[in-house]
Structure formats: C-alpha cells, structure tokens
Structure 1
Amino acid sequence: MATTLNPSSSILLLLLLLLLSPPLLQTSHADNHDLVRSSCVHASYPDICLRTLSSYGGSASTPRGLALAAVRVSIGRVQKASDFLSTLKGIARRERGALTDCVEQMGDSVDELSKTLSALKSLRRGGDFRWQMSNAETWVSAALSNEETCLDGFKEIGGDVRSDVRRSITNVARVTSNALYLINLIDDNRRR
C-alpha cells in the first residue's frame, strides 16, 4: 500500500532536502580545491599554479579540466604580455627590433596554446589518445620555446625595457610551464 504526502508535507520534505544539500556542494568544491592543491604541489612553480588555478572550482574537477584551465590561464597571460609589449614606447632602434620579434613570438605562442586547448577539449580515450596528447605537449613546448626566444633577443640589451620584458615574459613562461606539467599529468593518470 503506497502512501502519499499532502502538499504541506511535500514542501517540508523539499525544504529539508535543500537544507541538507549545501554540505554536499561544499564537499564537491573542497574536492576540486584538493585536486588543484595536489596537482600543483609538484608543478614547476607550485605557488603560481595554486594561485592561478584555485579560482577555477567546478570547471577544474578532473586532471583534464585542470589542464584546460591552466592552458586558458597561459593564453590570457601571453595575450596580456603581448599587449604590454606593444605599448612600450621611447625605445631605441635595436630594442624595437627585439620587441617586434618578441610580440610576433607571443602571437605564435597564442596560436600554439589555442591548438593545445582544442586538442585537450576533443581528447578521446582509445587509439587517438596518445597522438592527441603528443600534439598538445608539442604545442605547449613550442609556446615555451617562443617565450625563451623572446628573452634571448634581449640578452645584449640593457636598461628598463629589458627588465620590463624579462618580468613579463618570465611570468608567462612560468604559467606555461605549469600548464605543460598539468597536461603531462593527464597522460600519467591514464597509464596507471
């Protein structure tokens, strides 16, 4: 014999369920934060990793989601650095050439990181997985090489421009290095 609830009992039951739900949601958020913390602890730059990815919450609930977030952060930092470098004024001819090359390399980095993002979004288990992971790792590595090449262009140049470029590009390279580490974690988790 089935029992039915009257409308007021149904409302009370619904309210009771709603009151019990927030701790479940908090646990989920805590689990996501634990994933970020446990993944970032061995990154090349753990403090930067934790600081840049801790706000991604639900979208970074898996190693793949965390890697996607890290690549998005890297793209944002590269674009910000490129915009900053484009605004530098009052520089000598030699600095201008290195700066132009650097801005171009940052554009290449954005392209390579965007390809990485696409590869990670369409990542599938099976025969193509290894190929897709290899591509993603190669593109992030190429973006890192572009960032290093940009810095190399300023080795023989001194002054404020060099220190501004170094500070900006070093920040980008650290975030990109962390993204590469987190992409490698996807592959490591698959092999276990």
Structure 2
Amino acid sequence: MNFLPLSRSVIILSVTILTITNLELAYGDTMFNQTQNSTEFIRASCNVTLYPSLCFKSLEHFAHMVDSSSMNLAHAALSVSLVHLDQALVIISRMRFMAMSAGEAGALRDCIDNLADSVDEMQRSMREFRRLGSRAGNMRFQISNIQTWVSAALTDEDTCFDDFGGVDGSITFTVRRMMRKIERLTSNSLALFNKFADDVIQGLIH
C-alpha cells in the first residue's frame, strides 16, 4: 500500500485556511463581526461533544465557513477528522520501516489495516454528506448511512488503539497517543453530525 507524503485532504484544508485569511484581509470589520457570532456558535455547539475543548480548538479557524450553521459545522468537523486520520495513516504506515519488536510489528500491521478501513468509511460519509437531500424522500436513509459509516470509522480507530494493548515500546507509545486524539476528533464529529441530524429530522416531522 503506497501513501502520498501529503494527502489531498491536507492540501484542501490548507487552501481553505489560506482562503479564509485572504477574506479576512479583504472585508475587515463585517467579517470580523460575523466571525465572532460564528465562533460563539461553534463554542456552544461543542458542548454536545465529549471533548468540547478539543472540538472548539479544532474548528474555531473555520468560523467563516460554518457561519452559524449546524450543517456547515458538522461538515467541517467530519473534514477535520478525515484530515487528521489521513495524516495518521501516512505517519503510522512509515513506521513499518523502523526497528521494533515482533509484538509491535504485528500490532502495527493490524492497526494500519484498521486505519485504512476507517479512512474509507470516513470518505464514504463525506461523499454521502455532499449528496444529502439530493434525492427526494431519502434524507433519513442518507443520514443513517453517514451515522453508520462514522460510527464504524470510530470503531476501527478504537481497534487500532487496542491492538497495542499490552505491547511495550516507543512505537506503541507514539501510535496510542496519536490515535487517542483521532478517536476524540471522530467522536466529536459524530456528536455534531447527530445534533445536525436531530434538527433535520425534527424539521421533517414538523
């Protein structure tokens, strides 16, 4: 399995941040006020997650994109989670060429397989998100698909973390620390999407 040094997700996120910075320079006070409102919206929304501090820190730079929209916020959270997951897969895959014990080598192989599955599931959720509402009468099914795929991605990340249980070594320490953050980002993104989904379903009912 070959991985590019810099994934497309990382490049897209970098371009997005640069675009936001340029907009701030161009529009000044108006965008500053909008950003303040959106930033507070993000802070309040993050309270539904298990890790609100990490949630806010990871999303505050996307206030212009979020624009006080729960849909935009959920999309941003899923995107951030996928970017970090992509990066982790690249880094952890490179660790295969480092010296390690047999136990670490086995755990690493299993972890890489699980992370590859997790990336695929998160990509599926993002593709479905972009099509959300495009097919009449299918909104609930699409929402369920996204929730299923993100939950599956989180399970695979947990499994990667657990693969190193009882295994000592510097690689074990590095991978488990990295995966703990990835798990929390994915957990937060799922919570924010569930909040958005609840709002959508309530709207469909009423």
Question: TM-score of the superposition, structure 2-length normalised?
Answer: 0.78
1:26 correspondence with 2:32: yes
Q: CA deviation at 1:159?
A: 2.5
Gaps of 5+ in 1: 1-20
Please provide the CA RMSD for this pair: 1.6
Deviations 1:6-35 (A, max 9, x none): xxxxxxxxxxxxxxx854333222222122
Question: For residue 39 of structure 2, what is the amino acid of its counterpart?
Answer: H
Q: How does 1:67-106 map to 2 (within 5 A)?
A: 67-88=74-95, 89-106=98-115
Residue 61 of structure 2 corresponds to: 55
Which entry has the higher C-alpha Rg, 1 or 2?
1
Residue 41 of structure 1 corresponds to: 47
On the 8 A contact 1:74/1:175 being kept in 2, the answer is yes
Question: For residue 46 of structure 1, what is the amino acid of its counterpart?
Answer: P
| Alignment partners' CA distance in 2, 1:182 and 1:90 | 40
Q: How does 1:157-176 map to 2 (within 5 A)?
A: 157-176=167-186
Q: CA deviation at 1:175?
A: 0.3
| Alignment partners' CA distance in 1, 2:45 and 2:146 | 18
| Alignment partners' CA distance in 1, 2:79 and 2:44 | 20
Runs of 4+ displaced beyond 3 Å: 21-24
Q: CA deviation at 1:52?
A: 0.5
Question: TM-score of the superposition, structure 1-length normalised?
Answer: 0.83
The farther-off stretch of 120-129 and 97-106 is: 120-129
Gaps of 5+ in 2: 1-26
Residue 107 of structure 1 corresponds to: 116
Percent same amino acid at aligned positions?
A: 33
Q: Give the total of aligned pairs.
A: 172
| Alignment partners' CA distance in 1, 2:62 and 2:140 | 26
Secondary structure (helix, strand or coil) at the match of 2:48 reads: coil
